[in-house]
Amino acid sequence: MTTRAHECLMRMYEEEHDLESYQGSIPRWCSGCGDNAVLAAVQRLCRDEKLRPEKTVFVSGIGCSSRLPHYMKTYGFHGIHGRALPIAEGIRLARPDLHVFVNTGDGDCCSIGAAHWIHAIRYNMDVTVMVHDNQIYGLTKMQASPTSPRGLRSKTTPRGACLEALNPLTVTLGIQNVSFVAQAVDWIPELIYDILSRAFHHKGCSFVRIVQRCPEFLPELLDPWLHDPNRILLLTHEKGLQVSAALGKVYKNQLEHDPTDLDRARAIASAGDPMPVGILYQNRAVPRYEEMRAITPLRTPELIQRGLETEFDKFTVWPREPAD
Ligand SMILES: Cc1ncc(C[n+]2csc(CCOP(=O)(O)OP(=O)(O)O)c2C)c(N)n1
Ligand code: SF4
Ligand SMILES: [Mg+2]
| Per-residue model confidence as pLDDT tens digits over 245-295 | 999 999 999 999 999 999 999 999 999 899 999 999 999 999 999 988 876
Query: How does DSSP classify residue 143?
Result: B
pLDDT for the residue numbered 161: 98
Instruction: Indicate the SS3 state at residue 17.
Output: coil
Give the whole-angstrom CA distance, residue 275 versus residue 183. Answer: 9
Protein residues whose CB sits closer than 6 Å to any atom of ligand 2: 29-30, 33, 35, 64, 134, 138, 214-217
Contact 143, 155 (CB under 8 A): yes
Q: Residue of the nearest CA to atom 1 in ligand 2?
A: 138
Name the residue among 97, 4, 26 with its Cα closest to residue 290: 97
Report yes or no on 76 lying in a domain: yes
Alpha carbon of 155 to ligand 3 centroid (Å): 14
Across the strands, what pairs with 232?
Answer: 275
Per DSSP, 210 falls in state E
> Distance from first CA to last CA of the chain, Å, rounded?
58
166 in a domain, yes or no?
Answer: yes
pLDDT at 300 (0 to 100): 81
From the CA of 104, give the closest atom in ligand 1.
15
Which residues form ligand 1's pocket by a CB distance below 6 Å? 62-65, 81, 105-108, 132, 134, 136-140, 145
Q: Answer yes or no: is 51 within a domain.
A: yes
Q: What per-residue confidence (pLDDT) applies to 259? A: 98
69 domain residue, yes or no:
yes
Task: Determine, yes or no, domain membership for 321.
Answer: no
Ligand 1 mean position, distance from CA 62 (Å): 5
| CATH number of the domain bearing residue 216 | 3.40.50.970
In a domain, 323, yes or no: no
Q: Is residue 129 part of a domain?
A: yes
User: Looking at residue 5, what is its pLDDT?
Assistant: 61
Mean pLDDT by 10 residues, the chain (324 residues): 56 74 96 98 98 97 98 98 98 94 98 98 98 98 98 98 98 98 98 98 98 98 97 96 95 97 98 95 97 74 91 88 75
Number of domains in the chain: 1
Is residue 107 within 8 A of residue 66, CB to CB? The reply is: no
Q: Closest residue (by CA) to atom 2 of ligand 2?
A: 214
State which residues form the domain around 55. 5-293
**Cα 152 to ligand 3 centroid, rounded to whole Å:** 14
The pTM assigned to this predicted structure is: 0.90
Q: For residue 11, what pLDDT is reported?
A: 57
In this prediction, residue 321 carries a pLDDT of 79
For residue 14, report the distance from its CA to the centre of ligand 3, in Å: 36
Contact between residue 130 and residue 205 where contact means Cβ atoms under 8 Å apart: no
Q: What is the dihedral of CA 14, 15, 19, 20, to 10 degrees?
A: -20
Largest CA distance in the chain: 95
Best residue among 29, 39, 140, 210 to mutate for probing ligand 2's pocket (most ligand atoms within 8 Å of CB) is: 29
Expressed in angstroms and rounded, the spacing between residue 77 Cα and the centre of ligand 3 is: 19
Tell me the CA–centroid distance for residue 131 and ligand 2, in Å.
14
Tell me the C-alpha distance between 66 and 81, whole Å: 9
